[in-house]
């Protein structure tokens, strides 16, 4: 078994560079299925296990995919298969994002039902509602969801009940090859939606309004391969912002985009953290004493749920009572029990968590329950006053962070990753081998 062992007490100092965003690259790679002519070259791709998984899904669908030096090159010009089996969807729910592109290009898609995960039930009804509005028939049975259309999808007006990121991406990626114009209302506004729209437009699509609540897509007949640079990962950036703040350190987070981080910056400033925009990125300087604040997770531009557990680690060190309310996912508090093992004064009340700080965090054996929980437990370990924190279930961490322990060690953290079974492999292989 692999674990990360961390001992607290060191202030972090120096510079760390964030990678391309996981949540941007996954829909972009899925949408590369739309190019029937030419190759797509996706740049600034992080070596994450989720990227290896989506690449495998595309290979299974009969694309040629190469991943080298941070570039994924995809040739989707051959006849495509239409089925994404459970072995991929089980590993990564974002596999469902191939459904829109397949339906648009092949008129048919069959995807294993994603089911729930550690953070909630996560249905895909809004994705399917969008496909149906565009003329698709949808059938669910035997653990699969199948959608098919006679001829071509047609444009439609689609109102999302909730601004779902995945539904907005899947519907956008279906609508680009539909006949006529599609309008998505109450669309998600996350920066990753804008990145996907830019990629689709690079392939020859006509998408307008991404980043606002109304997205208009005029269908075209064919899409072509293009080159695309993935946006920097705002959640990885936010995670290192917390690492700097929780240790009272001074860290420059290179490549971070300040406009993508406004809600995180605002809350951290309220807590007494100094945040300075510099040319290369964002500098974070932790104070001697952190102040308690309340946080509510919301769709963008609200506070991101993907930073909820990391901010919880930070609030455990703040003086006073803080509350975090989770409104995006129904059950994203599995890490609370693990924090309690580290001597946190913390309790769950319905959809909120209440903390009384500053807590004297102590090292303990803890298990990651999802990828952000993994990062949060390591962050708490950096701030523990005594003992070693040993974090297991690192398969979650590897979905979303490249060399997290190495980057923290370079900033001065006392941290190492150990394995019962030493492996003689390159870093990129190491991630994929974990999921072989
Ligand atoms: C790969 C990726 O980009 N993942 C991100 C994406 O996930 P994902 O795209 O799955 O998140 P959504 O925005 O779709 O989900 C938000 C909420 O809407 C619900 N819902 C969603 C779709 C649907 O058809 N019906 C429905 O009820 C979900 O159960 C959840 O409670 O956005 C989330 C919200 O910012 C982030 O936490 C994830 O990191
Ligand atoms: C929940 C997350 O990702 P996913 O939707 O891929 O599970 C995340 O990135 O925090």
pLDDT tens-place string over residues 254-274: 999 999 999 999 999 999 999
Those residues whose C-beta lies under 8 Å from the C-beta of residue 142, and which sit 6 or more positions away, are none
242 and 310, same structural domain? yes
Beta carbon of 167 within 6 Å of any ligand 1 atom: yes
The catalytic residues are: 117
Provide ipTM, 2 decimals. Answer: 0.99
344 and 200, same structural domain? no
The answer to whether the annotation marks 296 as part of a ligand binding site is no
Question: How far apart are the C-alpha atoms of 113 and 101, rounded to whole Å?
Answer: 17
CATH code at 408? 3.65.10.10
- Domain holding 10, by residue range, is 2-19+232-434
The answer to whether the annotation marks 184 as part of a ligand binding site is no
The answer to whether the annotation marks 179 as part of a ligand binding site is no
Beta carbon of 160 within 6 Å of any ligand 1 atom: no
Q: Which of 176, 202, 229 is the last residue of a domain?
A: 229
Q: How far is the CA of 160 from the centre of ligand 2 (A)?
A: 20
The larger pLDDT score, comparing residue 427 to residue 405, is at 405
Q: Is the pLDDT of residue 221 over 60?
A: yes
Taking every pair of Cα atoms in the chain, the longest distance, rounded to a whole number of angstroms, is: 65
378 and 242, same structural domain? yes
128 and 243, same structural domain? no
Beta carbon of 94 within 6 Å of any ligand 1 atom: yes
Q: What angle do CA 144, 149, 152 make, to 5 degrees?
A: 140
Closest CA to 394 of 383, 378, 381: 378
370 and 254, same structural domain? yes
Q: How far is the CA of 306 from the centre of ligand 1 (A)?
A: 11
385 and 351, same structural domain? yes
* Res 302: pLDDT: 98
Q: How far is the CA of 165 from the centre of ligand 1 (A)?
A: 6
Helix (H, G, I), strand (E, B) or coil at 253: strand
Beta carbon of 124 within 6 Å of any ligand 1 atom: yes
270 and 219, same structural domain? no
What is the domain count for the chain?
Answer: 2
Residues 33-83: tens digit of each pLDDT: 999 999 999 999 999 999 999 999 999 999 999 999 999 999 999 999 999
Question: How far apart are the C-alpha atoms of 387 and 305, rounded to whole Å?
Answer: 30
188 and 247, same structural domain? no
388 and 307, same structural domain? yes
Task: Report residues whose beta carbon is within 6 angstroms of any ligand 2 atom.
Answer: 23, 93-94, 119, 306, 371-372, 400
35 and 6, same structural domain? no
Those residues whose C-beta lies under 8 Å from the C-beta of residue 421, and which sit 6 or more positions away, are none
Q: 422 falls in which pLDDT band (50, 70, 90)?
A: low
Tokens of 204: 């020859």
Q: Which of 194, 229, 264 is the last residue of a domain?
A: 229
12 and 41, same structural domain? no
Q: Is the pLDDT of residue 139 over 60?
A: yes
Nearest CA to ligand 1 atom 22: 124
265 and 208, same structural domain? no
Q: Which of 170, 203, 229 is the last residue of a domain?
A: 229
* Res 115: pLDDT: 67
The answer to whether the annotation marks 124 as part of a ligand binding site is yes
């Amino acid at each position: 078994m692999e674990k990360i062992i961390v001992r607290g007490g060191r202030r972090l100092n120096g510079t760390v560079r964030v990678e391309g965003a996981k949540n941007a690259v996954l829909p972009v790679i899925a949408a590369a299925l739309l190019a029937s002519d030419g190759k797509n070259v996706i740049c600034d791709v992080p070596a994450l296990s989720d990227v290896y998984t989506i690449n495998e899904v595309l290979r299974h669908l009969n694309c040629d995919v190469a991943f080298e030096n941070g570039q994924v090159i995809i040739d989707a010009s051959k006849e495509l298969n239409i089925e994404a089996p459970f072995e991929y969807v089980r590993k990564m729910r974002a596999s469902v994002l191939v459904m829109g592109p397949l339906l648009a290009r092949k008129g048919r898609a069959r995807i294993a039902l994603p089911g729930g995960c550690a953070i909630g039930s996560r249905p895909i009804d809004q994705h399917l509602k969008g496909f149906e509005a565009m003329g698709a028939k949808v059938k669910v049975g035997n653990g699969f969801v199948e959608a098919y259309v006679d001829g071509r999808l047609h444009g439609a007006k689609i109102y999302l009940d909730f601004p779902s990121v995945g539904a907005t991406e899947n519907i956008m990626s279906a609508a680009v090859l539909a006949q006529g114009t599609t309008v998505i209302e109450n669309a998600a506004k996350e920066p990753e939606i804008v990145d996907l729209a830019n990629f689709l437009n690079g392939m020859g699509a006509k998408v307008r309004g991404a980043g606002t609540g109304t997205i208009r897509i005029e269908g075209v007949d064919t899409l072509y391969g293009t080159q695309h640079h993935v946006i920097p990962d705002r959640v990885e950036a936010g995670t290192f912002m917390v690492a700097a703040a929780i240790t009272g350190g001074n860290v420059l987070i290179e490549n971070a985009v300040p406009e993508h981080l406004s809600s995180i910056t605002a809350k951290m400033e309220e807590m007494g953290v100094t945040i300075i925009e510099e040319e290369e990125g964002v500098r974070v300087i932790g104070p001697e004493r952190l102040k308690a604040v309340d946080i509510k997770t919301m769709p963008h531009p609200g506070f991101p749920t993907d930073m909820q557990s990391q901010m919880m680690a930070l609030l455990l060190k703040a003086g006073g009572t803080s509350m975090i309310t989770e409104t995006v996912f129904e059950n994203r508090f599995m890490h609370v029990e693990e924090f309690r093992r580290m001597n946190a004064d913390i309790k769950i009340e319905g959809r909120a968590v209440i903390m009384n700080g500053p807590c004297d965090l102590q090292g303990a054996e803890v298990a990651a329950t999802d990828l952000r929980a993994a990062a949060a437990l390591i962050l708490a370990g950096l701030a523990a006053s005594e003992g070693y924190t040993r974090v297991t279930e690192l398969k979650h961490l590897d979905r979303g962070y490249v060399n997290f322990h190495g980057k923290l060690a370079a900033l001065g953290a006392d941290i190492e990753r150990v394995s019962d079974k030493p492996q003689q492999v390159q870093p990129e292989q190491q991630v994929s081998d974990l999921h072989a």
